[in-house]
Amino acid sequence: MAEKVREDPVKMHKDANNLMDQGKYEEARAMFLRTAELYRKAQNYFDSTTMLYKAGECSFQLKEYEKALESFKQSAELSFQKGFDRFGLSALDYEKDCQKALGNDAEVAELEKKMKEVKEKLESAF
């Protein structure tokens, strides 16, 4: 009977970063997405949002803007749900870059509006 190997998200996180540093974006993206899932199941939401963001960066480097957009959207949504507003703002900024690359001007304008609202909220908190 085969023994089930337990996936270690911390090791996978490091391995994915190494792959990204080596320019192996497709492999890194797949590992970041799997690691995000594992972190989320473990209720480590900050690292989950980080892994989604990194997956988006890999897709962006590959000029796969639709895939990048999906990862950045998921990162932003989870960030805002869990109160990581500054991190969510970074994901929105990258989301905007993806929309620009895709030529979606209306979405760019919507994201700029949303980013302005988040920035105002953050500034009023201090």
pLDDT in tens, 57-103: 999 999 999 999 999 999 999 999 999 999 999 999 999 999 999 99
Instruction: Work out whether the CA dihedral 20, 26, 32, 38 comes out positive or negative.
Output: negative
Residue that has been written with the tokens 């492999």 in this structure = 27
Indicate the average pLDDT of the chain.
95
CATH classification for the domain delimited by 9-124, as one of 1.25.40.10, 3.40.50.300, 1.20.58.1910, 1.10.1740.110: 1.25.40.10
Q: Read off the pTM.
A: 0.92
